[in-house]
Structure 1
């Protein structure tokens, strides 16, 4: 009798494993359970999607979903009741929540979604870091981190600065370019390209008509600026290239890690700079390739290995599609190190961070540097509309970054007020929108774009198929650590689409509603 029961159990398990539960989101109806879909021996629809994974991407495990912690997020969530705050933080961070984020990105000093500029050390010439502190953070962004840690106590973090302290920069200011939203004199803008002055349009010798940042270049248009970004590269480093400054800055990273550890916030990864190729009116810092290589190779890497060997060094965040420029940096930092402090292992870096136009480098980097981890360090931030179109674009980005080699993915702001306006005039999107007028909130389409990925694709899941978007259809397939497969599909067309996805020797035949996100999960009967 026991033998018969075992056989029946195996048959039942096999049958369950052939059945997929479908979850669908449209603009009108988010996260709906649409019933079951079973594997078939025949493909019943066109197109038929066959696996297109290269050997470089095959059997690659996804490692983490995460988000960034910013002051304006704290301001937004504090408008809500305590009960509403707890629900949102549970849904985003709890192991049994919706998004299940386990990683956080931090900034050292202010970023563009801080309330205003501040730094951890305002004393010029403080190379000994006597006055370096995180007291501002304790009263602000660390409060937001603690709210997340309540629901995800095992959360880990990484850090990158937007700008060094202003006294460490050649322009003595936190920004790169002047604007009505900061106080930098316009006369300083020429510093960015000062080694290659452009002729005046009137032929009156050296001028600066082409030496300042094109104001349209920083406008956000869902990552499609339609040209090389930036159009011109900085010709000098905004960080002062003096050994005292460079070493003190490397020490700052270690001091920051130490002080955050005292707050029970573990930092296990570092990147030297956010978007060194955005020449910003908000906190930023321009670096040349040579400056990037010098700081990382001669200062930051050996200092971390001496003081925090457990902390990994990644290089990024790369937000430029100038592939030769990126490759020059990466190749230099993956060459054998000769510093006497670099005794632990080589290469100096463990991975790369990409965002915005940096996405265009993914295929090349995966091919030429297969041993390096690649992450999407920041999802694109949109324009404050927080509408369905933004959700579709984020769904596309999730699909593209992960399918083309990234094993971690980070959202930018997870909650903002109204249209997400920053102190420097930007309007940006978030996963949760708070309406300040009546103190209510809603989950945006981008929230559900993430949920269709992160709710079922656990850390340790293996990418087994990737189908780049074509004719408005995209799909990606994972195998979870428990062996169950997860198929995620998007349809951006105005009409329903049917397609067949090959899984081994069988096919998953599915129907996708117009403008929809879809997730098919193998063998799960419990409602999620």
Structure 2
């Protein structure tokens, strides 16, 4: 009898234990990729230490902002020329790195209409003065280098990519100074220049290249009259788009091509969006606004970006050009790209009251800080300048040297993927077109953060720590969280798979 009681008690205990609810696992499932001054290059972090952190980063996917158009770089004649000087193996390596599924997966790109500073020389598609019907229009100058680079990239890219095309100048004979550099488009040639765009779109389409977007002019305030340029005021460009370019493209069945106005530095943005979007008639043909970062490669100008968005909340706001300029690339020296050694043109040439906008600042920091700042202030696309340059920072007919994410030595057939390549990939590879920027509550003072939810439901969180010391933080989504650590001087992309 006693033995029977013990068996019943044991059975009762086992029954109670068996019915007890399982402990819920609140650990957030993540994949972490890091690029750092210490040597990580988009390296997956697989070992996590359980660190305590009061610095909380909370993701709020229920609060959404802009839809992402894409990230990428620019097809220039300089880059295409250099690729043609490399071995087929190295040429393919670079294009795969930018466009393949296991590469950076560039989704938004830019190219120049006729020549720019990163061309081998000055050229136009309409060289015959007075050719009002553009019967002699030809893109033959692009056939040797530029067009093959774009087509090879197309063949590699699984999802495809958009191309924004920009002229640095109209044909010189259409301008008041009859030169490639400076001057204004004469009003009597507004219709002919609109035809120039239409013929360009047709010529590239015949090559199998569809152009997604256009800007009427690269840097309409000019560039100090140094290389190809043409000046527009906000009123003049709006007139050109509203009454000439927009109607011409519409009449020619090209109304789907997105016209992005302005295409210069953020500091002058307000006066341009005020004019472009002042009423329904002026804004009809503008799909959005294009901006550059050269006003300051340190300051993001969040108030200006917010203003531009509020002025035209349904339009695109795309950063179409940025690079480290006034610098010659450091060859195979990763450490330099993390040091505060790089300058931009303003470090030497800006007015004294604007010097603070142009400090020495590490190249990686410039890119990471700017892209995150842009995403957190309504910018929906970010396009780097040249994809490939040589050890001098060219070729460039004006000797306007710059950096690029990939540097090559064509004579030795060598390729150097700088840390800037991996910095760009942190965004382009994991934040895909169609994703929505989502809210982040960042309680960590030492890091900056942005996040986006992709069309497949996954979430990409990008974290940048420019401090020398590693930082601990907790990442929370809904009722799950994980404690993480980011190295000093490091950029992380944290991918949260769809639940």
TM-score (norm 1): 0.76
Counterpart of 1:248 in structure 2 is 192
What's 1:25 paired with?
35
Q: Where in structure 2 are the equivalents of 1:175-254 lying within 5 Å?
A: 175-176=181-182, 238-243=183-188, 245-254=189-198
- Contact in 1 for aligned 2:320/2:383 (Cα 8 Å): yes
- Supply the distance in 1 between the matched residues of 2:416 and 2:26 (Cα, whole angstroms): 35
Please tell me whether residue 451 in structure 1 is matched to residue 451 in structure 2.
Answer: no
Cα 1:311–1:468 change in 2 (3 A) is: farther
Confirm or deny: 8 A CA contact 1:485 1:522 kept in the other structure: yes
Q: How many residues align?
A: 435
- CA gap of 1:265–1:17, structure 2 versus 1, over 3 A, is farther
Name the CA shift for 1:324/1:269 in 2 (closer, same or farther; >3 Å): closer
Which residue number corresponds to residue 494 of structure 1? 468
Secondary structure class of the residue paired with 1:517: strand
The yes-or-no answer on 1:350 pairing with 2:287 is yes
From 49, 70, 79, the counterpart of 1:73: 79
Deviations 1:34-78 (CA, angstroms, capped at 9, x unpaired):
21669x9xx9424333569997xx243212223211111022223
SS in 1 for 2:173: helix
* Mapped partners of 1:53, 1:457: distance in 2: 14
Mark the CA change 1:33 to 1:52 in structure 2 (over 3 Å): closer, same or farther. Answer: closer
2:315 corresponds to which of 372, 376, 400: 372
Q: 1:304 to 1:406 in 2, by over 3 A?
A: same
* Structure 2 Cα separation of the partners of residues 460 and 37 of structure 1: 31
Report whether the alignment pairs 1:111 with 2:116: yes
Separation in 2, partners of 1:83, 1:512: 35
**In the alignment, which residue of structure 1 is the partner of 2:496?**
522
Query: Could you tell me which residue of structure 1 aligns to residue 216 of structure 2?
Result: 272
- Name the Cα RMSD after superposition: 2.8
Distance apart, 1:504 and its partner CA: 3.0
Structure 2 CA distance, aligned partners of 1:36 and 1:320? 41
**SS at structure 2 position matched to 1:316:** strand
1:114 offset after TM fit, Å?
A: 0.6
In the alignment, the residues of structure 2 paired with residue 347 and residue 512 of structure 1 have an alpha-carbon distance, to the nearest angstrom, of 46
2:45 aligns with one of 34, 57, 60:
34
Q: 1:134 and 1:161 mapped to 2: Cα distance?
A: 13
**Aligned to 2:485, what secondary structure does the other structure show?**
strand
User: Is 1:130 aligned to residue 73 of structure 2?
Assistant: no
CA distance in 2, matches of 1:470, 1:355: 29
CA distance in 2, matches of 1:369, 1:54: 23
Determine if contact 1:19/1:522 at 8 Å carries over to the other structure: yes
Task: Please say if residues 79 and 386 of structure 2, whose CA atoms lie closer than 8 Å, have aligned partners that are also in contact.
Answer: yes
Q: How big is the shift at 1:290?
A: 2.0
Alpha-carbon distance in structure 1 between the residues aligned to 2:459 and 2:120: 43
Residue aligning to 2:256: 310
Counterpart Cα distance in 2 of 1:468 and 1:271:
36
Q: Which residue of 2 aligns with 1:292?
A: 237
d(CA) in 2 for partners of 1:310 and 1:469? 43
Instruction: List runs of 5+ in structure 2 lacking aligned partners.
Output: 1-21, 331-336, 339-361
For residue 521 of structure 1, report the CA deviation from its aligned partner. 1.4
Query: In the aligned structure 1, how far is the partner of 2:310 from the partner of 2:193?
Result: 33
TM-score (normalizing by structure 2): 0.81
**1:181-200: per-residue Cα shift (whole Å, max 9, x none)?**
xxxxxxxxxxxxxxxxxxxx
